[in-house]
Amino acid sequence: MRFGVIIFPGSNCDQDSYHAAIAATGQQAAFLWHESHDLQNSDAIIVPGGFAYGDYLRTGAIARFAPIMEQVAKFADAGGLVLGICNGFQILCEAGLLPGALMRNAGLKYVCKFIDLHVENAETPFTNACRQGEVLRIPIGHMEGNYYCDQQTLETLKRQNRIVFRYSTPDGQITPQANPNGSLNNIAGICNEGRNVLGMMPHPDRSSEALLGSDDGAKIFKSMAMALVPAGR
């Protein structure tokens, strides 16, 4: 299989995602330029972290109009796997591939640190290498990571089991103190109704090897490969 990693002007985690995807899975990867209409036969797309188009207007607001995103939307509609990390999550929300929005952190400060991430749903193509209720140690690095949606959307996310990750304590307790940015319901990652699009604020690309302080993030990339390779991809 082949991962496709998008590069926007201002991306700063494209190389990290490219390396992590290959190192964690042994599969191939390719870079996809934001102005291109060609996904290069990619089997899974990664929208990486960074500051796409300088985060002008608001995070992800310009990137959603990039030519490559037209193809990503069609790819997702056809059931293709799409992973948005940090700024990538913001872009997917702006593009309408995921509900809700990412706002300024509750403390109005940039937060960069390791957090504990509770796996709410281990039955997705992005978490099948995880255990239900497992706590992952993965870093965050963002200023606008405060997830918000209206109450009706939140109830839909809960009912359809689409909240994939929540900020927690090391033993898996969901508490206000464990919430680093004020996100509604401690939400750190959600998926679409088809479960083939995932957005998450924590960086699995920055925690894919023990040398980085944790290799828990590798499970996200391994899950994606496991979801596709058995199908002959």
* All residues at 6 or more sequence positions from 28 whose CB lies less than 8 Å from its CB, including other chains: 1, 2, 3, 22
pLDDT, tens digit (0-9, with 9 covering 90-100), for 155-191: 999 999 999 999 999 999 999 999 999 999 999 999 9
Residues with Cβ within 8 Å of 202's Cβ and at least 6 positions away in sequence, in order, are: 86, 115, 117, 136, 138, 139, 140, 165, 188, 189, 217
pLDDT at res. 6? 98
State residue 231's pLDDT score. 54
Distance CA(56)–CA(71), nearest Å, equals 23
Q: In this predicted model, what pLDDT tens digit does every residue of 92-107 receive, in sequence order?
A: 999 999 999 999 999 9
**Which residues, at least 6 apart from 5, have a Cβ–Cβ distance to it below 8 Å?**
14, 17, 18, 21, 29, 30, 31, 32, 45, 46, 48
CA torsion angle 187 189 190 196 (round to 10):
-170
- Residues 27-78: tens digit of each pLDDT: 999 999 999 999 999 999 999 999 999 888 888 999 999 999 999 999 999 9
For 29, residues 6+ apart whose C-beta sits below 8 A from its C-beta are: 2, 3, 4, 5, 18, 21, 22
Instruction: List the one residue out of 214, 189, 222 whose CA is nearest residue 44.
Output: 222
Q: Count of domains in the chain?
A: 1
CB atoms within 10 A of CB 72: 26
> What mean pLDDT value characterizes the chain?
96
DSSP-derived secondary structure letter, 122:
-
Domain containing residue 153: CATH number:
3.40.50.880
The SS3 call for residue 214 is: strand
In 3D, which of 197, 199, 163, 228 has the Cα closest to residue 78?
Answer: 197
DSSP string, 40-93: TT-SEEEE--B-GGGG-SSTTTTGGGSHHHHHHHHHHHTT-EEEEETHHHHHHH
Q: Which domain covers residue 134, as residue numbers? A: 2-231
